[in-house]
Chains A and B, each alone.
Chain A
């Protein structure tokens, strides 16, 4: 790989002056747009010297509310979630349908992305070690939000005559409100969400991913790809194009199969690195706890750390965004609650397991050598932390990052497409237009710098949460009723185990 990149760069170096300018000019053109969107959506309230973005508050209040309202389903439902995934309650007669495990795996590969590797580094850089604590708290709370949105996704999914199904927030928002006699508002808010997820898919599920994949590739290549973001972008866009437009499903299928193994491989190596730094571990953990409540050296103190942690958690596990609800709604079940319960595991795997492990890798490296990263940010910082122990690690990490980014892009292209077809119908030509736009943004992501991309992505993601969480408040009583009836039937033995 290194050799290939070397040859590649040797060929292109003579043209550097001509082509490197492309990145810069596109970057300059997009920066003001990003700034503007960021300002509008990230309206910040100053609280005790920290800047609290309104949307972060919106999500956290929602997650806390659902945790209490559903009586700690995030903790109570955990064991049952594992039983469901194991197939203890699956009727053999329904074999061949989408299993709980399959729905969970698909949703997880959509959320396990660069955010787990790079996003955590961003959180630790800006919010200090303490941000990790709040990241985990947000993960635990986010489990409740996921439960509510995935239950609703299945309950209100739409089955088309040819047998395919579409579901997700736009459908439950529309139908849920119309059942409560607010048809007009339901239509409005469903449309609002669909627009949000379609545009949002271009940020979190697209530009951020391709950008960080490029950054990691460039790190591995020793900076030989500086200024060639446009080229990597075009290559990535071409691969995405071949899958979502060219219909080369095999690429997507292979990715879908490799990603879970890459995630396990990543976690195993992360744990090894942590163990190799075992001396620094107690200090790193204590930094997380003290940082969480003192916020030393962080703008805004403890509250600043908290905000950053929450913000990155949402970005990573997507609770409250409603994307997983789209993936889960493909499952045929008579009990929508079961999908909700299974989806609890997503923030757990994504945020509480993978993000925490990443945070500890970075944390222990920081304790051992405060300047280990040499100013590197995002994925590059995580990569540097691994590199301290395994000099060869950046290469497989780059490969993993590329795959994570790719699988997240494929998943999000689907989520965005669902928003698009909700708005413009299921016509094929319309879908192609959407997919072309999606590919264009893949390329754009590699060209623009991380800062503006994070601003745009965050801003767009939170824009989607506004209609979704608003709807969840209104529809929560329905979920609660279903949940209580379901667990009562489990307790009474009316719903039987098959294993």
Chain B
């Protein structure tokens, strides 16, 4: 069974650098790639009845959009380089969702770009990257 590297991308420069690093790693170790995009979402938010009614529809379109505009454009070029790529879009909190995806796809390594989090935000809500590093059971590579 080949190794699987999970990469979190979000369309940002940091995400792109993480992907570049992960691709090199994958080529060297003949690993497969799992490209993921996490849509920030919390089960504990408040909505109007109308928003609830539309939720299912919006969720489907959010997932579709993530595939179309963020993940799929990368897949073609990666496959051209001879890599095996899977894609996954999830709603949730980034650190938690990545852990769940890693579990489910039996990933062996996680790559994540350093997020442009402000100091203030990290102080109040905690840094996503730090949360992932602390809780992950897999090696995590944070690409600056």
Residues of A within 8 A of B (CB): 87, 90, 92-93, 95-103, 105-106, 109-110, 162-166, 249, 252-253, 256-257, 259-260, 326-327, 330-332, 410-411, 414-415
Contacts and interface: CB of A to CB of B under 8 A. Distances in A.
The 10 closest A-B pairs by CB, nearest first: A96-B91, A163-B57, A99-B43, A330-B52, A95-B91, A414-B49, A96-B59, A92-B100, A256-B46, A98-B55
B49 A327 contact: yes
B105 interface: no
Contacts of B56: 97-98, 163-165, 330, 332
B62 interface: yes
B79 interface: no
Contact of B48 (A165, A256, A260): A256
Contacts, number: 91
Contacts of B45: 102
A96 B43 CA distance: 8
B92 A101 contact: no
B54 interface: yes
Interface string B79-119: 00000000000111000010010000000000000000000
A180 B11 CA distance: 54
Contacts of A165: 53, 56
Given A95-B91, A96-B91, A163-B60, A253 B55 contact: no
Interface of A is mostly: helix
A257 B60 contact: no
Interface of B: 39, 41, 43-57, 59-60, 62-63, 90-92, 97, 100
Contact of A257 (B46, B49, B54, B90): B46
Given A98-B55, A102-B43, A163-B60, A92 B49 contact: no
Given A95-B90, A95-B97, A101 B44 contact: yes
A369 B100 CA distance: 59
Given A95-B90, A97-B59, A327 B46 contact: no
A249 B51 CA distance: 9
B47 to A, nearest CB: 6
Nearest to B54: A164
28 contacts: A87-B43, A92-B100, A95-B41, A96-B41, A96-B59, A96-B62, A96-B63, A96-B90, A97-B59, A100-B43, A103-B52, A106-B47, A106-B48, A106-B49, A163-B56, A163-B60, A164-B54, A164-B56, A165-B53, A249-B50, A249-B51, A252-B50, A253-B47, A253-B48, A256-B47, A260-B46, A330-B55, A332-B56
Contacts of A100: 43
A255 B97 CA distance: 29
B50 to A, nearest CB: 6
B46 A96 contact: no
B46 to A, nearest CB: 5
Given A92-B97, A92-B100, A163-B56, A101 B43 contact: yes
